[in-house]
Amino acid sequence: MDEELTQEQEPKKKSKKGIIAVISIAAVIAIITLVTVLVMIFTEPPEPPKPFDTVEYFAAAYNNHDYDKIIDCFDPRLTKAFKNIANGVAGFFGLPPIGSAAVSLVGNFLGGFAKDFLAEQDITGTMTVREISTVLDGDDKATVVAEFTVTRSSGESDTWEQTINMVKVDGVWYFVFEWAWLTNLF
């Protein structure tokens, strides 16, 4: 008879272990859910990018002589068209497409030459920008008025106020390409 009781008690022991495992898993899931909800409630969402952020990015790129980042400030539809045209010309002359290692080497050489040339002309310098105003036109257009100051290595500085038309593409603000204000930089 003792054997019968032992055999009946074994399934009960196994079912108790199963219930404890299920309760433990449910408790862990509840704790994770609670922590996630609390984090969502008490964490502020990141501030969306502002048009002036791109102007500041441009000034930092100018100060670092990072011409790729300067180009990144312009409407990507324009830069894509520029790269397509450049690749077409490169293909016509049998050169590798933009972005390849060979063009990167040539670009670095020419970029260094341009940097040296600009330094000799005392055109390089440090740029600071100050936001004067920003007017949003819908969700994807803006006009920024900013004060630019470029201080050259000679100590001379130029300050001017510039109006910049901008467009938002895929959540990022870019400059609309206009020659008029770019000529002020150089």
CATH classification (class only), 51-182: alpha beta
CA distance 62 to 70: 7
CA distance 112 to 11: 80
User: How many other C-beta atoms can be found within 10 angstroms of the C-beta atom of residue 47?
Assistant: 7
Q: What is the pTM of this model?
A: 0.57
Highest mean pLDDT pick, 35-44, 61-70, 115-124, 148-157: 148-157
CA distance 65 to 70: 8
Per-residue pLDDT tens digits for 12-55: 556 777 788 888 888 889 899 888 877 777 776 667 789 999 99
Q: Tell me what the mean pLDDT of segment 76-97 comes to.
A: 68
With b for 16 or more beta-carbon neighbours within 10 A and e for fewer, the 114-146 pattern comes to: eeeeeeeeeebbebebeeeebeeeeeeebebeb
Domain ranges of the chain: 1-43, 51-182
